[in-house]
Amino acid sequence: MNDRAPAPGRLALIQSLVNTLDLESGADRLDTAEGRAAFGLATGGTEAARELRESLRAVCLAHADHPPHRPVTPLGELLAGAPLYLMVDGRDGGAGFAPAAPAVTSAPAAPAAPGALSTSGAPLPAASESLASRVAAAIAESLVEGTWARLKACEASTCHWAYYDRSPAGRGRWCSMSVCGARAKMRRYRAK
């Protein structure tokens, strides 16, 4: 459905995970071995991945000021046990590694200051690590970079596809202007 460029950096992982379910057709890529393998999942981790996907979708909907499409487990609860280590810039100019628990918020990240968390040079989770760890790392990195709030979900109730909003004002509403946007505009036109 999405005719936009993929999300930057590690946000592409979150975008890909949210987009494993096509709400219109009901097709779920996590139902296939190939779809699960793309996220390093064994058959047993499918339900947890689905729960994580729907919580991420709810956050993406919130980024676009849309209500969640159904009740979900809060994302913070799902990522609470995910280990994550980030580079910490010391006040004396030195640097080291420290455990970090990223805050999941739609607020834009503030510019980095001495003592602030930074993903620069930090060993982030590899593909062999848990999906929750990789998602937490992607969120932490995007918070630092100020890109987290631009990962949104389409307003169309039959879509809710994740897209990265590159519009200058950050007010995109649909994954595709030529599909979901056109449908919404046509519905409004017919209603008049």
- pLDDT category at 35 given cuts 50, 70, 90 is very high
| pLDDT attached to residue 128 | 57
User: What confidence tens digit (pLDDT) does each residue in 144-190 have?
Assistant: 899 999 999 998 888 889 999 998 887 776 676 666 756 656 667 66
Structural domains of the chain sorted by starting position, each given as residue range(s) with its CATH number in brackets: 11-191 (1.10.3300)
Distance CA(117)–CA(139), nearest Å, equals: 13
Instruction: Please check whether residue 136 is in contact with residue 115, taking contact to mean a CB–CB distance below 8 angstroms.
Output: no
User: How many Cβ atoms sit within 10 Å of the Cβ of residue 152?
Assistant: 29
Q: Within 13 Å of residue 130, how many CA atoms lie on the same side as its CB?
A: 16
User: What confidence tens digit (pLDDT) does each residue in 58-99 have?
Assistant: 999 999 988 887 888 888 888 877 765 444 444 444 433 344
> What phi, psi does 97 have (nearest 5°)?
-105, 145
Distance CA(54)–CA(71), nearest Å, equals: 9
- Residue 118: pLDDT above 50? no
